[in-house]
């Protein structure tokens, strides 16, 4: 998320009431979590396991829980609770805004676009030309829909990210201020849910077709001309490259990449990145030919045991 007005490192530290190290005039132009950071961003980290990743990321300012060495040209803000302070930043610069009508503020609709009854549209939403938004659809804040897009009945585009921090008092939600982008010629089935980015974008690529009851998590990026059958579930921060096919009930864990042209058979579970151009099956998913041979061998096992 970009700031409407850039802040210096000193100004951000003063806003949070924290100490800082680095050039006090270093400019912060955006807020992002680690998977989406760009130059000028501030990012948070609160576990030593991820210090190196955050400090060496594109972010210029790191909100961190103790003073550490950091690369030249960057700055750090030292916080007792980086997660909480990051939430303070996002809620301040992108606060929750109540919906008081079926169409929010700053809504734009293109030529020959049809919106059926009982659709509800949040703030800062744009829909391009020749789209169809079916009955019962909810388009959350900051959703951007390009041209020739179909969204099926009762689908939710742009719900908050499923992102929590576990504390003694329970789970605390990370405030979502990102968006969803549906590119040209995307079709979304009925009862689908696509979560918006925490601070960045969840993207569905041009020409991708999605069946009913599919879930796509926050900050995931789906490529062009993909095909997802019913009940596919994709976690947050997943990259699916172009022309990938996933059949029914495929499940994908977070922070993995599915290579271009991969085909994943029904009810497979993906626990790590998969190379493109191959067919996969099983849980954990493996190349289909190998997985099927293993299943065939297992079926023979009772007969072998009986002969012992």
Active site residues: 218
CA distance 88 to 111: 39
| C-alpha dihedral sign at 104, 105, 106, 109 | positive
Quote the CA–CA distance of 249 and 266 in Å, as a whole number: 6
Tokens of 286: 């493996």
- Token pair recorded at residue 122: 């949040």
Whether the ω angle into residue 260 lies within 30 degrees of 0, i.e. cis, is no
Secondary structure letter of residue 176 according to DSSP: P
The whole-angstrom separation of Cα 82 and Cα 120 is 35
The DSSP call for residue 103 is B
For residues 23-54, one letter each, b for 16 or more C-beta atoms within 10 angstroms of the residue's C-beta and e for the rest, the string is: eeebebebbbbbbbbeebbbbbbbeeeebeeb
Sign of CA dihedral 17, 23, 29, 33: negative
User: What count of residues does the chain have?
Assistant: 308
């Amino acid at each position: 998320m970009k700031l409407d007005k850039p802040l210096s490192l000193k100004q951000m530290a003063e806003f949070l009431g924290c100490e800082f190290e680095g050039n006090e005039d270093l400019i912060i132009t955006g807020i992002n979590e680690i998977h989406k950071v760009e130059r000028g961003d501030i990012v948070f980290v609160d576990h030593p396991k991820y210090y190196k990743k955050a400090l060496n990321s594109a972010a210029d300012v790191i909100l961190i829980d103790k003073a550490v060495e950091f690369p030249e040209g960057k700055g750090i803000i030292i916080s007792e609770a980086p997660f909480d302070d990051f939430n303070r930043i996002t809620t301040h610069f992108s606060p929750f805004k109540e919906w008081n009508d079926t169409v929010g503020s700053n809504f734009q609709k293109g030529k020959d676009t049809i919106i059926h009854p009982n659709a509800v549209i949040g703030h800062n939403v744009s829909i391009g030309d020749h789209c169809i938004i079916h009955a019962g659809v909810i388009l959350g804040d900051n959703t951007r829909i390009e041209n020739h897009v179909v969204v099926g009945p009762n689908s939710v585009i742009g719900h908050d990210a499923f992102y929590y921090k576990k504390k003694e008092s329970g789970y605390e939600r990370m405030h979502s201020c990102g968006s969803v982008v549906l590119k040209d010629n995307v079709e979304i089935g009925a009862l689908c849910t696509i979560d918006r980015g925490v601070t960045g974008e969840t993207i569905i690529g041009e020409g991708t077709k999605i069946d009913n009851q599919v879930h796509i998590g926050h900050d995931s990026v789906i490529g062009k001309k993909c095909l997802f059958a019913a009940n596919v579930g994709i976690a947050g921060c997943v990259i699916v490259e172009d022309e990938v096919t996933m059949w029914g009930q495929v499940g994908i864990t977070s922070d993995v990449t599915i290579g271009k042209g991969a085909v994943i058979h029904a009810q497979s579970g993906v626990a790590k990145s998969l190379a493109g151009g191959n067919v996969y099956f099983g849980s954990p998913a493996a190349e289909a030919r190998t997985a099927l041979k293993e299943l065939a061998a297992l079926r023979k096992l009772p007969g072998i045991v009986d002969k012992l």
